[in-house]
Amino acid sequence: MKLFLYHTPELTPKDEIPDCAIAVDVLRATSTIATVLAAGGEAVQVFSDLEKLIEISEQWPAEKRLRAGERGGAKVTGFELGNSPLDCTPELVHGRRLFISTTNGTRALQRIQNSPSVLAAALINRAAIVEYLLEKQPQTVWIVGSGWEGSFALEDTVCAGAIAHSIIEKTHVSPDQLAGNDELIGAIALYTQWQDNLLGLFHHASHGKRLLRLECHEDLKYCSQTDILDVLPIQQEIGVLKSKN
């Protein structure tokens, strides 16, 4: 198994498809997706285009759907939810499908949607991702960070490092044996340095600072936790993620 990290969807190789692809948007789309499915959501359907989201979600009964829209960290007007995982309580989401569009995370999922195996990872469900990789042993794995508007994001990189670090601990392979590119080695180093203070790292991250200005302090605290949800969001059909657990 070789893990490759790409900091943004735009950096992934053209005309290639890995055996397994993992979208990461720790702040906050993939954290929200994992939270919704862990809370009993029927599925999460992702869109990069807001108008398309509205068109498709209109086909569902109002009591069976929720619309989540975020642009620039703020909730889209007219949607029930923004992109805060803390709003996704079991009472609200149980049995409902979440239709979501965010600034960055949904683009990452759409870039990798043709892979035979598509997962959504965050720090909060890292253990479930690692367990799946160790069980299935895909030959090539892409971890695709969402970044922020096309640029590098610390929080997505440290999550990739957390996944790789756990695999190394459990299998005793060397970083060189596991890493498919230099970016993954860098991610492991970042996680090793910050693993005991991930919230502190988020305070250094540009998107973390952006969310702090929006008074999303509790979101940062929640998203900086590791292995708190035993949920594996996996694509069942193009653009639709459900929980395997």
Instruction: Report how far residue 204's alpha carbon sits from residue 202's, in angstroms, rounded to the nearest whole number.
Output: 5
What pLDDT score was predicted for residue 107? 86
What pLDDT score was predicted for residue 245? 58
Q: In this structure, which topology does domain 2-244 adopt according to CATH? A: putative 2-phosphosulfolactate phosphatase (3.90.1560)
What pLDDT score was predicted for residue 17? 95
What pLDDT score was predicted for residue 144? 97
What pLDDT score was predicted for residue 212? 95
What pLDDT score was predicted for residue 102? 84
Q: Are 99 and 56 contacting, i.e. CB atoms less than 8 angstroms apart?
A: yes
DSSP codes of every residue in the chain? -EEEEESSGGGSPTT---SEEEEE-TTTHHHHHHHHHHTT-SEEEE-S-HHHHHHHHTTS-GGGEEEEEEETTEEPTT-SB-S-GGG--HHHHTT-EEEEE-SSHHHHHHHTTTSSSEEEE-GGGHHHHHHHHHHH--SEEEEEE--BTTB--HHHHHHHHHHHHHHHHHH---HHHHBSSHHHHHHHHHHHHHTT-HHHHHHHSHHHHHHHHTT-HHHHHHHT--S-----EEEEETTEEEE--
pLDDT tens figures, 135-147: 999 999 999 999 8
Residues of the chain with pLDDT under 50: none
Structural domain boundaries in the chain: 2-244
pLDDT tens figures, 32-76: 999 999 999 999 999 988 999 999 999 999 999 999 998 887 888
